[in-house]
Structure 1
Amino acid sequence: MTPEETPFQFGDAWFALGLVTPERLAALRAEWASGEDRSPEHYRWQAFVEFLAERRPLSAELAAALYELGARDPDAHGMGAAMRHRIVELPECPASVLAAAAASGERHLVRAVERRARTGEPIR
């Protein structure tokens, strides 16, 4: 997709993983055209949250792919960090993703993993 086709900075992985479908993209474009919000990350976040709501619980593979998607987000320190944090908080988050978050050196991710360990949530 070119920037003209989608102002939201969705990369190919967003489409390949199914976070964005042609129908969803059309709805986002309509919202973009009729609204005042010109922050692409707000639209990416909306697509991400709606996808999670529809697809949970996530498979270990999908959780890992979404965590990586956050790491590669154009706004990796804001939007991408929020995506990764949300994945780490999910009960179905696999041990491999928790280990990556713990080793990331990013304080909010390390704390999220530590909080999970303290609360006794299952680490899969």
Structure 2
Amino acid sequence: MTEDTSSTFDAFRHAEALLAQRRPLDALAALGPVLEAEPNARSVQVLAGRAYLASAQLRRAEATFRRVLELDPTDHYAMFALGKALQRQSRLTEALTQLRLAVAMSPLPEYQEALGEINARIAVERSK
């Protein structure tokens, strides 16, 4: 491992740790150089998207998870997270599509719960 690769890896791990400590803005700051060095690395984009979502930078989260899906159209987590970003922007129909895809690809309880929430919100809005 070269020194540049090692420092990039260390910065990525540091950003992961900061996000785990619920410090998404600090995680994004630590991740900045990694994003520059590895703009097409799916794992880097996912971590940035998670930090954007956690810091309520919803449009940035949306754009980042869309980028992840460009890099890997089969990434069910990116579909789920994109759905959550859209949901938080009250774009329920778009969120529904992403969450349905995520559940179809991987029926994890967290995904199913999010899909149920969207379906319920849409039903309530239609009944008004």
Q: Do they fold alike, i.e. is TM over 0.5?
A: no
Answer with 1 or 2: which has the greater Rg.
Answer: 2
Return the structure number with greater helix share. Answer: 2
* TM-score, scaled relative to structure 2: 0.42
* TM-score, scaled relative to structure 1: 0.43
